[in-house]
Each structure stands twice: as C-alpha cells, then as structure tokens.
Structure 1
C-alpha cells in the first residue's frame, strides 16, 4: 500500500503546526467559534450533540495493521473505547476533547494518516472497491489511480472552496462495488476497442435532499487525461455551481439544470484549454505510484483445500459464514474475508479498541498486514489462504466479528443519527438494533436472502437510504421522531432510487413495518428471486397495501445508550 514520501510528511507536519496554533487561539479566546469553525472543519473536526467528532481519512479504504492499532490507541486514550466506520470508508471518533485534537493529528501523522479534507466544501476522500487488487472480476486495479487522485486533490488551491462538498469514487471491476452512480464524479476503469486503458466518466450523482443518479458524459477518457479532464469538470462546477442556496449547491443540481449533454459540452470546451498541460499523467508517474501496490508474496496453492471442504460440509455454522462472508479471490487458493461489524446488539459500523487490536493481529497473521474498509461499514482481510479459513473463523467468532450476515437484512448501513449528529432529525441506531432483534434467526435471514437495508437519520443521507432495497429516513414531525420508508433502491451496476411507500411511522412501529415488507416479498417472490427483483417486478403497491392494511404493532424502542 502507499507510503508517504518527503512531500507528504512535510505538508502534514506543517498543517498540524498550523492547526495546533489555531486551537491555542480558540481556547484562549483570540478566535471566536465562528472564526474557528471553518478551520476545524478543514481538519475533520465537527461539533456534534455531545462532543466534538473527528473524522479520519482512509484513502480508498486501505489500512495497514499499524494504522488499525493506532485507531485502537486513539479510541482508548482520547475517546470512549470505540470507533465508527462510515460509508465513506473513513473512521469517526465521537467523544473528542478540542484541546487534545492536535495531539491526535500528530499521532495519526506518525502512521501516515490525517483528517484533512474530511469536511468542508472541498474534494473529499477518494473511495473505491474494497476488493481492489484481489477481486476475481477485476478488469484493472484502480488503486494507483485512486492514489494519484488523492495526491492531486489534497490541498488543490483552485478547489479549496467549492460551492459544496465534492466526492469521487473509482471502480475497476465488472461489478460496481464503489457506488459510482451516486457520486459527484464516478469513474470506471475500462478498455476501449483497441485495448487501451481509460475511464468511463459519470457526473452529477448524489443523494441527500435531491437524489439523482449520475450521467455518463464520456464513454472513454484516456488514462493520462484523468486529472486534466476532472479539472475541467471542477472548473465548470466552481464557476456555475450555485452558492446562494446550500440545498442546491451540489454539482448534481447544475447538471440537472442545464442537462448532461450541455454540461459535457462545456467540460469538453474547457478541457481543450488545459488538455496535455502540466497535470497530464505520465507513464513514469503511474509506474512510480503503481509500485506501492505490488503483488504480495502469494504461495502456489491448490485450488481446493481438503480440510476446508470437509469442515464446510460438516459444520453448518462455518458453511453459512463461508457462503456470506468469504469472497472469491483472483489468486488460486486464497479468499477475501469480510469481518462483519453488524453483530446483534452493536451499532452498525462500530468496532471497539480491543476488536481493532485483534483485527490488526489477524491482518498480520493471515493477510499480509492489510485491512480494507467497505462502504457498507464492514472490514475486509483481502488475502487469506483457504487452508486457514477455519482457524480465522473460530478466532473472529470469539471476538464478535464473524456474524454470517454479509448481504443479508441485518448487514444494514446506518449513520450515527440523532444519538450523536446535530443535523439528524431522528435516531438511527436504536431502530437498527430493534430491527436486528426482530430478525435474530440466522436461518430466517438466509431464507430471505440478499437484501440491502439502509438507514439515515436525516435528509443528508449519510446512510445511503435512497439506494437501499429498503430505505429508512428519519424525519421530524411536530417535534417528534418519525420514519419514512422507501422500496426499490439499489447500488451497483443497476443502481436505482427507492420510492416512498406512504406516510411515516413511529420508532416503535418500524420492526413490524419491515416484517410486513418481508412477508410480501416471501409471499410473492418467484423461486430464488432477490428482493430487489421482486420489488421491481411488482412495484410498491403490494407492499404499501399490506403494510397499511391493519394497525401496526408498536414495540418499546431501544434506550438512549445505544453506542458501543
């Protein structure tokens, strides 16, 4: 994985020194909160309901075991013993003291990490496929390009104050696992008819108040032009994006207003002025960055391990875990393993300091010292020998990391919601826990099959509820917390925006609502049809009719202390 060079170390060192002085001036009263706000946000520090929250960048979701151990240390020393992994492949700490934040940033710098540009109207963390480099369906490894874009976007002077935050995702596989259609810019690495490498460019995707799927504005962009072309996109957005209304400031609104075809025309016109300029990517630079993503020292292993196959046959629990949590690998004899952060009773995406230390140990012993963060809020060990899966499973299970639910209903995406976030209209975590309690039978979950449930505590959609097969949105109704339900959303190659089924529900009604939706699916599905396919075939009407047909049972929601 990428290691900082002299320039990285120098700019991070200088930024920490600047920030330490800014914190000193805020604590002494030299800076007001209004003056300090933009400075702290540039360093990933938010003020939430109860304390400051620090968001740390995890570029394209890749971590070393050393960095994971540093997270565990920060959780113990500066927080309340845990961290929360997010849909942006980052990690957040929710109970931070302002005066200690410069020390935290210095600790992060010691393991080549930072919190720069994890907030503010700038280009945010570059995200990608959590299986990049090992995926069986990979066309081209996108990580070198993701790293080049990370370097290019960090401290880019022209785009430090955009109309609104800006998110870029890149995918290099046949299946889109980076949700590129709901990003400001979504890139797919492709070959053209001559076999040359380039990018399919989507622009104007996003969720929030106005959910929109991105539009393709270029079917093929040569790889060497990726930075100059993205610069042209950002220049058009910076010039014409709205700054008078925060709710209409994202690039998706501009693209929708003038049309994707006109937007593409303006980008192409702007691009002609900077094409082949200094930002053109060279073969030498691509080779330099690619060298950091060298192939691990894989062993020459058989395609099948006898012990693994026998255990899978004789142990149902292990077999279920393999089916849901073990993914194909491009190297014979290896697998990628998803460690579930969705154990019943634990807020989705949370990991304790003890678990993070343990995961770092697993990475060192089983996966070349590397950990990946998924945008579904789980963690991945990308290079595990098939012969070691049984032992790994036993160890992970003992630490609450082997729930066999990846891709199932309880593998839900969930933002921190009203328990922490000052923007939230309603709590998310207690609802997630209640739904998990309702669907506690693993046999029943496996019978339901693949289904994505995404939940957000407010319209900002940090929980990606618009693209959940079932989406839940927390809303405020006369000062009370209510929940709006949508059906039919999806991410990936066939992305779609869900449709609201009707009036909102109280917190106590939500487990029954989800139960009724599932009952309709089981009743009306054809053979092994997935939930999303049934929902697309039937539309929302059958679900709506059954959900609202009779009074909904109300259960007592989880209490206030829902955090780990």
Structure 2
C-alpha cells in the first residue's frame, strides 16, 4: 500500500479584517502602526527631532507617523514629473514639511485667523493654501519650528492632530452652520461633540486608511456628502422632527464610488454614537491587506448598505435606527460665494481666492476686514473659498470693494468661481504636473476670451490620478500626466474627464482625449464655446456632454 499522505489546509489570508481574527500585519504600513501608535510621535518631535534636526528623524516616523500630526515631507525642488513614481522616498523628500491645520467645520474666529496668518509669515515663507476640506496647508516648515507652531495653534484652540494618516481626518461642515437663513439644522453641536470625544483618541488612531466625515444641514449640500466615508445630512422626517440621513462609503481616487444612503433617521443626540459605530465598523471590518482596497467604500460595495446597516445596529449601536427620508436635491452652486442674508438680519460675504492660494499677508488682510466690517468670524469652504460672517447690510458693498482690491472676488467670473486645483508638483511628491499656477493662468486667460460666459461649469485640476481635486465629479476634470506633443516630445499634460456630476455620474473619458499643459486653455475654451452654442435652455454641461457628438468634445 502506498504511504499515507497528509494534506495541509491553508487558512485563507482574507482581507486583513480584525473582526475576523486577522490581527497580524499584512503590509509595511500595518506593521508600522502595530509597532507604535502614530499619536506617540508627538513627544519625539518635541523632545528629540525638533532639537536634533531633520537627520535625527527615524524613517518610520518621517514617512509614517508624522502624518498623524499633519506633517508630510514636501517634494524636493527640481525633480520632474517623469521621475515621480520611480524614485525612492529618500530622493524625493525635501528637508521641509507640508503642515496641515485642522479647521473642523471651517470655523475660525479673529484670533485664530490672525494666528494662522502669523504662522504662515513667520514659519512657512508666507505660504498658506485653503484645501477642499476646509484645512489651511503650509509649506516650507522646518522640524525645528514645529513645537512653536503647535504651541501657537493650541493657544487659540487649533491643532494638527490627525490632520493626515490612517485616522478620522478633518470633519467638514457648512461654513454657514447656525446662520444660514434656509438651513435644515445647525450641525455644529454634533460636529464638535464628535471632535471632542474622538479626535486624538487611541480608539480610532489605527484605521485601515484615512476616514473622511461631514456634518451639515445645508440646503446647498456644500459638504459634498456624496464623496465622504460618512456624512450626516440634515433632513426633516414625516413627524416634522429635524435630524440626519446618513451616507457611507463615498470616495474618489483611482476607483471612485458615490456614498450610499443607509435609509435611516438619526436624532441629533444620537449622531456621535452613530458616527462612532460607523468608524468602528471600518476599524474592525475594513480591509487592511492591500492599501488600495483599504477604504470604507470597498467594504460598503461588497456588503451592500442593508448588511452594513444591520452590522452597525446589531454589533455597535445595540438598537435599530428608524427609516428616514432622503435629503432634498442640492443647489446648482454649492460654494456660498456672494452676498447673502443670514438668519439674524445681517449678511455673509463669500469670496473666491485664486484656486485656494492665499498667503500669510492676505489672511491678515482678511482678518482685518472681518473685524472692521463684521464680528471677526471667518469660514473656509470645501470649494477652496472663504466667507466673512455677520456683516450689516449697509457695509456689504464696501467690504466687497475692499476684498476686490486684494483680488478676492465676491462676484467672480464662472472660471474663477468654479476652478479648483490640488497642490501639484510644486510641493507634492505624488504629483506629475504643475497645477496651481497652471490653473490660475488658465482662469485669467479664459476671463479675457469668454468675458460673458456665466454658466456654472466646474473645472478641477489634479496633478496625479489620486483625485484630491475631485476630477471625476467636475464638468471638466483634468488629471495630470505626461503626454506627447506635436513634436514627439514628452511634456506635462492632462487626461480629460467630461460631464461629472456629484452624486449622479462620474466624468467620462473620451478615447484619446488629452491635452498638453500649453494647450489646456485652448481646449477648455473650445469645449465651453461648443456647449454654450449648443445647450438647450437650462441644460447643464454634464447633460450636454451626455448627448454631444464626440467631435464637439475634442
């Protein structure tokens, strides 16, 4: 008889979900987090690295745990986009940092804005950008200056804790929360409660990847709930009670998905429990084996919302949530630009910097104007804009004129108002092309060529495929890449996505439709003119793209 054989049964590796028993790290990132919580790096920055300098920083902290406090090394100058994906981090890293300041809900009072402005001037070579998640982002930060920056921020109630990393990042909220004349609910108390309870807590400092939250009762839906991991959106149920619908699993990057409604009704006092439950599901059941599948959207896609809701209720809340209504449709423009009434008889004045690019001096000017014409309160928006609150009616036009003198437009052109750009190759190690200056130059030129165009066409400019500037949900989404020009040379350019619309459809890619950076403005002018000539009354750009001849899109 042949000898007996034994069969080894291999346990499947699964997706690295903690709740299923997969606690051993399956990649370098997970191993790094298991070795030491990212929150612990703060003490080393203060006690060691800021004193001994850049060369003293442990690489595992430098390219990993520093993110838990909003710090990334920025791109070393002079490295072209063709080498972005091929060079090791050590060669891409500059000795300076990008620092991201959390501004949850986009809310700033006068002393906070002045502090943000002063830090930019003193420590960041004047740099300060408004991000599309309401943060302020600095560049040129030295490790030696980080403790002093933290001390200044924390003295006015701001911080950088979990501004980056595999954590609950900044929670976006309507900049008009509590003052908008038409809001469904002021979500500020719920946003603050979640922030105060959970941000900086080890309970959620090791998530599979980043986690993006939004709380809003805004009728414009300015917090873009469709592309957040979790979003609480103000609704009124059939009994006339005000609360929230909850959306889960939104996100863009290289595999975009829209968030899906759980179909529930959450009372305001339940919001922090439900938020904790959703992020706990992500922590325990989220995929940790492969980084590119470690976002909540993949779990929601695989499970479906019915199972997600059931697990949330049964394993984390301990009670069932009632069914709830869906929010009303958003307004055509979500940015709160212009002069509009508040609920107290005063006005807010929203204005558009150039693709979110401001600086310390300019932020100081905004602080001065906010105090002179309003209460000092200022808001950042999720569209890279700013809003000054509490302005008496008789002062609104004077304020608008003062802002315009500093190139901060209250009544901007469509192109100034609707163009967004990520950081780009100037500072970002992932970028392939220049974005900020390219977008600003494009806006200036389009204003000259199409001075009377007023339709709300969005143009989003991204330096790489990761969609920080939301290219897939823009009317014209521009994804940076290297392209071949008419001379056969490889140059900076963009792949073009057309007809994206938040919550409805992602922009489509027309076969072979790319442009060089040099030809970008000509292309945008051409397609915008075609739309303007062919559009029916009330027809949006996205609707036109859906029916237009391909030749008109090229």
Q: Determine if contact 1:46/1:54 at 8 Å carries over to the other structure.
A: yes
Q: Tell me: CA distance 1:259–1:369, structure 2 relative to 1, closer, same or farther (3 Å).
A: same
Q: Among 69, 76, 81, which residue is 2:114 paired with? A: 69
Aligned partner of 2:91 in structure 1 is: none
Q: Determine if contact 2:214/2:228 at 8 Å carries over to the other structure.
A: yes
> Which structure 1 segments of 5+ residues have no match?
1-12, 277-322, 343-347, 549-564
Number of residue pairs matched? 477
Aligned partner of 1:386 in structure 2 is: 393
Partners of 1:382 and 1:458 in 2: CA distance: 35
Residue-by-residue CA offset, 1:340-396 (whole Å, 9 max, x unaligned): 202xxxxx2121222111111111122211000011111101221121122212221
Partners of 1:397 and 1:272 in 2: CA distance: 50
Partners of 1:546 and 1:195 in 2: CA distance: 48
Q: Secondary structure at the match of 2:182?
A: coil
Partners of 1:349 and 1:383 in 2: CA distance: 22
Residue-by-residue CA offset, 1:526-560 (whole Å, 9 max, x unaligned): 23x25xx2431551643x31243xxxxxxxxxxxx
Q: Indicate whether 1:351 and 2:358 are aligned.
A: yes
Q: Tell me: CA distance 1:30–1:453, structure 2 relative to 1, closer, same or farther (3 Å).
A: closer
Cα offset, 1:25, TM superposition: 7.3
Q: Tell me: CA distance 1:35–1:336, structure 2 relative to 1, closer, same or farther (3 Å).
A: closer
Q: Tell me: CA distance 1:31–1:52, structure 2 relative to 1, closer, same or farther (3 Å).
A: closer
Aligned partner of 2:31 in structure 1 is: none
Q: Determine if contact 2:194/2:275 at 8 Å carries over to the other structure.
A: no
Q: Indicate whether 1:525 and 2:535 are aligned.
A: yes
Partners of 2:481 and 2:240 in 1: CA distance: 49
Choose 507-516 or 24-33, whichever is displaced more.
Answer: 24-33
Q: Determine if contact 2:124/2:139 at 8 Å carries over to the other structure.
A: yes
Aligned partner of 1:291 in structure 2 is: none
Q: Among 212, 226, 243, which residue is 1:181 paired with? A: 226
Q: 5 Å matches for 1:110-121? A: 110-121=155-166
Choose 58-67 or 153-162, whichever is displaced more.
Answer: 153-162
Partners of 2:137 and 2:379 in 1: CA distance: 16
Q: Secondary structure at the match of 2:361?
A: helix
Q: Determine if contact 1:67/1:111 at 8 Å carries over to the other structure.
A: yes
Partners of 1:335 and 1:110 in 2: CA distance: 29
Aligned partner of 1:327 in structure 2 is: 340
Q: Tell me: CA distance 1:495–1:156, structure 2 relative to 1, closer, same or farther (3 Å).
A: farther
Cα offset, 1:211, TM superposition: 1.0
Partners of 1:141 and 1:324 in 2: CA distance: 19
Aligned partner of 1:339 in structure 2 is: 351
Q: Determine if contact 1:410/1:439 at 8 Å carries over to the other structure.
A: no
Choose 444-453 or 148-157, whichever is displaced more.
Answer: 444-453
Q: Indicate whether 1:226 and 2:271 are aligned.
A: yes
- RMSD of aligned residue pairs (Cα, Å): 2.5
Q: 5 Å matches for 1:154-553? A: 154-273=199-318, 325-332=338-345, 334-342=346-354, 348-402=355-409, 404-405=411-412, 408=415, 411-441=418-448, 444-476=450-482, 480-491=491-502, 495-503=504-512, 504-527=514-537, 529=538, 533-539=540-546, 541-542=548-549, 544-548=550-554
Aligned partner of 2:63 in structure 1 is: 37
Residue-by-residue CA offset, 1:182-203 (whole Å, 9 max, x unaligned): 0000111222222333210000
Partners of 2:246 and 2:396 in 1: CA distance: 38
TM superposition score normalised by structure 2: 0.81
Q: Tell me: CA distance 1:351–1:339, structure 2 relative to 1, closer, same or farther (3 Å).
A: same
Cα offset, 1:69, TM superposition: 1.1
Aligned partner of 1:21 in structure 2 is: 47
Cα offset, 1:139, TM superposition: 1.2
TM superposition score normalised by structure 1: 0.79
